[in-house]
Amino acid sequence: MSDEVDSIRALTADIREFARERDWEKFHDPKSLLLALVGEVGELAELFQWVPADDAVAAFADPDRRQRAGEEVSDVLIYLLRLADVLDIDLPRAAHAKLVDSHRRFAADAVLGIAPKKE
């Protein structure tokens, strides 16, 4: 495993190698990975479902709960990077391009304090 814990590409390569070593690549078609991602999003949602919205940040300042949340967020991230990898998506570039595009679409002074509506 890579020591560069902050690199999307290194983490992606580690996950790919993890799957390869276990001969799990055959399970990792995009639809299956998407369902696995949905499973992990569900586990994350369950942590928060009955917490009052205004208390959520404070409640998860508790070290055990933050640890649990961190594990579930990580599981979502791992399946997301794996999905991008099998689709041959250059995720660092794609995410950067998306942010650049958001800067263009949402000029700060035009949307100040206003939540954009999804059409």
* 75 near a second copy (CB under 8 A): yes
By CB under 8 A, the residues from 23 to 62 that bind a second copy are: 23-24, 26-27, 29-32, 34-54, 56-57, 60-61
Provide the minimum distance between the beta carbon of 73 and a second copy in the complex, in angstroms, as a whole number: 5
Torsion of CA 72, 48, 36, 19, to 10 degrees: 0
Q: State whether the Cα torsion 18-23-26-32 is positive or negative.
A: negative
* Token pair in block for residue 49: 């479902």
Residue 89 interacting with a second copy (CB under 8 A): yes
Q: For a second copy, which residue of 13, 16, 74, 104 counts as binding (CB under 8 A)?
A: 74
Number of residues that bind a second copy (CB under 8 A): 82
Burial (CB count within 10 angstroms: exposed 0-12, middle 13-18, buried 19+), residue 82: buried
Residue with tokens 């998306």: 98
Q: How far is the CB of 109 from a second copy (least distance, A)?
A: 9
Say whether residue 64 binds a second copy (CB under 8 A).
no
Using rule CB under 8 A, residue 104 touches a second copy: no
Q: Report if residue 105 touches a second copy, rule: CB under 8 A.
A: no
Task: Give the span between the Cα atoms of 2 and 71, in whole angstroms.
Answer: 19
